Structure 1
Amino acid sequence: MEGKTRSGPGFYSEIGKKARDLLYKDYQTDQKFAITTYTANGIALTTSSTKRNELILGEIQSQIKSNNISISLIATSESKVLTTVTLDDFGAPGLKTVLSFMVPSQRSGMLELQYLHDYAAVSAGMSLTANPVVNLATVVGSNAIALGADVAFDSATGNFTKCNAGLNVVNADLIASLTVNEKGESMTASYYHLVSPLTATAVGAELTHSFTNGDNAMTFGTQHLLDPLTLVKARFNNYGMASALIQHEWRPKSFFTISGEVDTKAIEKSSKVGLSLVLLP
């Protein structure tokens, strides 16, 4: 279902997000299973397992929420534990503070501040090291048009490691986005059109052009609700890769998804099939 209309431009990561979700979200060629349960005191526990080729990856996540504080712990099968502490409206309305670190890594600490306003959104983060990498993403505008920039500076080398800019234009049921990435070495234009809100029917496209080698990558996609609980999606790119999926919400917030991918330029090769089962109480 389409979300509620939001005032304000949103964060930089939301530029072109509608088209990206249409073209890439829920497509996979792995086998994934995830189940979430809640304890009596409200702690959410999520166990997930993913089979990728011959490798099986697993993780256990617990999340605790109390007023405006949220703590998330994720333990992986690679013996790593990621801790994330989030404080909403910390110090001022609309200000969010996020602190994260991974054990046993000693250089994984990150501190991020996010501020969302009706006409601006700012996200500033830095690694908690002696010579931190500082990231700043800013968006100004409204929910109809937004202009943003995303830069990162490495204090150890004195160089900008990232310098991106983006434009998002929303007009009723149409969203057009343009981003310049990799310090101007590539440009991505995307388009999303909601054809029918009743059936969530939408079409979209994304074109990425590389200025360094002149390559173009284009992807077209569409989605449609067969019934209120069953969604189908399909996409095709200029490299001849065709993908499709069907997703059924067999109970509230619980989804079963089957997706497939085939190389139309090499039909003799085996197609790839992905399965996903997500269970929530």
Structure 2
Amino acid sequence: MSLPQPVPPSWKDLGKSSNDLLGKDFPFHHTSLEIKTKANDVTFKVAGNNTAGAIVGDLEAKYTNKIHGVTLTNTWTTANVLKSQVELENQIAKGLKLDILSTLAPEKGTKTAAINAAFKQSGLHTRAALDVFKGPTFTADAVVGRDGFLIGGETAYNVTEGNITRYAAAIGYNAPEYAVTVHGLNNFRTFSASYYHRVSPDIEAGAKAVYDSKATTGGVALEVGTKVYLDPAAFVKAKINNVGVIALGYTQALRPGVKLGLGLAVDTQKLNQVSPSGPAHKVGASFTFDS
């Protein structure tokens, strides 16, 4: 008799270990500030950054009722966009999560609404979403896992036009210390392969290669990186890509609930140059307060 299989990751989380290693904790694009506070069942979050030379941010309030499995989130952004999300988990059926997400931009008169459902059980994780105003478009994906092996697929269907607008597939293998994932995306016009390895409790390494058959530059985009824990409260990250850009990140927990992040990106092919759009090298920082 086979043992029960663990719930596999969702479609969007395939290759997550490698993506997080290469994408997170490199705050060189901007300087950001995030503050989180909690009062009973309500969590407040204020976040902002200076992306593209302008200060952008949002104010979020999240109410969670764990007994009834209900979460209500409201967000107001500096672009004057109102976002609302209602989530219901494990109430209609065990493993089923439903949520309704809507946005409204009063000045522009634009709005969006999406109904999402996710169902997970032993060896299966599937999701479905209906974009009410765009199309409407129905999107579905599923991931099946057994003994560490994963296979998944995604498709989008335009209800009005009656045709499939997007499809993709992926295969992978997850083990406690490493993971490998291969994606075929954008109607199999883009292919990516990612690898993650926890070398030791203090060292992680990963790589990702992407080939876009429609790209004008041609070739394969390659990125490799590593993460090293200096102590329980600090770690450094480094990565380099095939065009010679080196990125460094340093994260330090200053005290419980207070975290500082520093980021640096250096274009090794333009060490003494300034591009027309701005400096070739970037420096940034992030501050997080979580009470």
TM bin, normalised by shorter chain, reads: over 0.9
Q: Deviations over 1:140-189 (max 9, x none)?
A: 11361110001111223333222110112023411111000110111100
Instruction: Give 1:20's aligned amino acid.
Output: N
> Across the two proteins, how many residue pairs are aligned to each other?
273
**Counterpart Cα distance in 2 of 1:54 and 1:106:** 25
The answer as to 2:234 corresponding to 1:230 is yes
Residue 166, structure 1, aligned to residue 176, structure 2: no
Match of 1:247 in 2: 251
What residue is the counterpart of 1:212 in the other structure?
A: 214
Structure 1 distance, partners of 2:173, 2:45, is 37
Paired position in structure 2 for 1:43: 42
Paired amino acid for 2:140: L
- Pair 1:113–1:203, CA change in 2 (3 A): same
User: What secondary structure does 2:21 align onto?
Assistant: helix
Rate the CA distance shift 1:49–1:143 in 2: closer, same or farther, 3 A: farther
Is 1:262 matched with 2:274? Answer: no
Q: Deviations over 1:49-108 (max 9, x none)?
A: 211242000210000011310000110011111001111113101100010101235541
Give distance in 1, aligned partners of 2:172 and 2:46: 36
Letter in 2 for 1:114: A
CA contact (8 A) 1:10 1:143 kept: no
Amino acid at match of 1:87: L
| Misfit runs of 4+, over 4 Å | none
The AA in structure 2 aligned to 1:196 is S
Task: Decide whether the 8 Å contact of 1:234 with 1:243 is kept in 2.
Answer: yes
Distance 1:221 1:131 in 2: 39
TM-score (norm 1): 0.92
Q: Note the alpha carbon deviations across 1:35-59, whole angstroms, 9 max, x for none.
A: 11123x4311111121124200021
Q: Is the 8 A contact 1:150 1:163 kept in 2?
A: yes
User: What is the letter of the counterpart of residue 277 of structure 1?
Assistant: F
Q: Distance in 2 between matches of 1:42 and 1:250?
A: 27
Q: Which amino acid aligns with 1:212?
A: K
* Paired amino acid for 1:203: A
Q: What residue identity is the alignment partner of 1:264?
A: T
Q: Offset at 1:232?
A: 0.3
C-alpha separation in 2, matches of 1:159 and 1:118: 32
Contact 1:96–1:115 at 8 Å: present in 2 too?
yes
CA distance in 2, matches of 1:130, 1:108: 8
Distance 1:245 1:141, change over 3 A: same
Instruction: Name the counterpart of 1:203.
Output: 205
RMSD: 1.7
Aligned AA (1:83)? S
Distance 2:43 2:212 in 1: 43
Corresponding letter in the other structure for 1:206: K
Residue of 154, 157, 170 corresponding to 1:153: 157
Report SS of the residue matched to 1:91: coil
Of 115, 120, 133, which aligns to 2:119?
115
The 8 Å contact of residues 150 and 165 in structure 1, kept in 2 or not, is answered as yes
Gaps of 5+ in 2: 274-278
Name the residue aligned to 2:77: 76
SS at structure 2 position matched to 1:90:
coil
Choose which of 134, 137, 144 in structure 1 pairs with 2:141: 137
Q: Which runs of 5+ in 1 are unaligned?
A: 1-5
Displacement, 1:244? 0.5
The question of whether the paired residues in 2 share the 8 Å contact of 1:233 and 1:244 is answered with yes
Question: How many angstroms apart in 2 are the aligned matches of 1:139 and 1:131?
Answer: 25
What TM-score, normalized to structure 2? Answer: 0.89
Q: Report the CA distance shift for 1:157/1:252 in structure 2 as closer, same or farther (over 3 A).
A: farther
After superposition, give the CA deviation of every residue in 1:226-270 in whole Å (9 maximum; x if it has no partner): 111101000000011110000011233432100010111100144
- Among all aligned residue pairs of Structure 1 and Structure 2, give the percentage whose two residues are the same amino acid: 23
Q: What is the 5 A alignment of 1:27-66?
A: 27-28=26-27, 29-39=29-39, 41-66=40-65
SS at match of 1:87: strand
Amino acid in the other structure paired with 1:22: L
Alignment match, 1:3: none
Q: Which amino acid aligns with 2:141?
A: A
Q: Hey, what's the Cα distance between the residues in 2 that align with 1:135 and 1:251? A: 43
